[in-house]
Amino acid sequence: MRVDVVTIFGEYLAPLSLSLIGRARAQGLLDLRVHDLREHTRDRHRTVDDTPYGGGAGLLMKPEPWGEALDAVLADPPPADDGRGPVLLVPSPAGEVFTQAAAVELAAEPWLAFACGRYEGIDARVAEHYRARGVRVREVSLGDYVLNGGEVAVLVVVEAVARLLPGVVGNAASLAEESHAAEHDGLLEHPAYTKPASWRGLDVPAVLSSGDHGAVARWRREEALRRTARRRPDLLARLDPARCSGADLRVLAEEGFAPDGAGGFGPAAPAVAH
């Protein structure tokens, strides 16, 4: 996979040379190229920002350096480009929330490009212009909080995507077991334990040492359901009741959830007093 990143803070991306991602780059599985936006300015001060039309606090990134920088990226496709060009990812707190499902989609692409805004973001015409040229532009957010710029989002998205590429993570089965994996219905992962069996007065749940694989699987499923209900009830709205056993339904009912009639689960209607 080829990944181009345009930024004014290339040093921010140094962690992408470490660990599994660094090794994937060294092995040629990931061709990650960082480009300095300021190389595409034409004034003596290498200016990338200016004040917003309409007033307000803060500075916006000017469109001209972005146009030149992104044109240069688009003009240099990787051999694997299918003619559709890259998916252009624009990190922004105003974007769609980045999810594991999006990571899976992006991992199937041969080419991604990132436009990292700083300050209050990038002049809105940049995304509009590349969309009009047929580029698949996706504005993505990490969640409901504000960061200073898109570089941390690049670290997050590249790590989430690259570890799905064949050969990057050693054990492919571990990918399927994780929290948010579709194979586990998008539930949070159950708690996990290793040796010693007793630590500071805390014992590993006995069922995990029972050797009864069916009982272990049922315990893990129940813990995953309870955890998700307590911590991320929003995820239950996307849990298909058709994929739930009677035992699952009982656990969810204990946690206060019932099928919502819309293909998921929601808070159970309170029992009406007679």
By CB under 6 A, name the binding residues for ligand 6GU.
91-93, 140-143, 145-147, 149-150, 153
What is the nearest approach in angstroms of ligand 6GU to the Cβ of residue 98?
Answer: 8
CB closer to ligand 6GU, 118 vs 190: 118
Length of the chain: 274
Selection from 7, 1, 2 nearest residue 90 by Cα: 7
Choice between 69 and 140, CB closer to ligand 6GU:
140
Tell the smallest beta-carbon distance from residue 138 to ligand 6GU (Å).
11
Q: Which residue has the CB atom at the shortest distance from ligand 6GU?
A: 91
The count of C-alpha atoms lying within 13 angstroms of the C-alpha of 94, restricted to the half-sphere facing its C-beta, is: 6
Which CB sits closer to ligand 6GU, 78 or 93? Answer: 93
For residue 149, the SS3 value is strand
Q: Report the nearest approach of ligand 6GU to the CB of residue 60 (Å).
A: 13
Q: How far is CA 4 from CA 161, 255, 266, in A?
A: 14, 45, 41
Q: Which is nearer to ligand 6GU, 114 or 265 (CB)?
A: 114
Q: Cβ of residue 114: shortest distance to ligand 6GU, in angstroms?
A: 10
Query: Across-strand partners of 50?
Result: 60
In the complex, the smallest distance separating the C-beta of residue 5 from ligand 6GU, rounded to whole angstroms, is 13
Nearer to ligand 6GU, 89 or 162 (CB): 89
Q: DSSP label at 122?
A: B
Burial class (CB in 10 A: 0-12, 13-18, 19+), 53: exposed
Query: 24-35: buried (b, 16+ CB within 10 Å) or exposed (e) per residue?
Result: bbeeeebebebb
Kindly tell me which of 3 and 142 has the beta carbon lying closer to ligand 6GU.
Answer: 142
End-to-end CA gap in the chain: 63
Least distance from ligand 6GU to the Cβ atom of residue 230, Å: 24
**Integer Cα distance of 99 and 143 in angstroms:** 10
What distance in Å separates the CA atoms of residue 16 and residue 250, rounded to the nearest whole number? 45
The residue among 29 and 147 lying less far from ligand 6GU, judged by its C-beta, is: 147
Q: How far apart are CA 253 and CA 265, in angstroms?
A: 10
To ligand 6GU, the closest distance from the beta carbon of 133 in angstroms equals: 23
CA gap 75, 79 in Å, rounded: 12
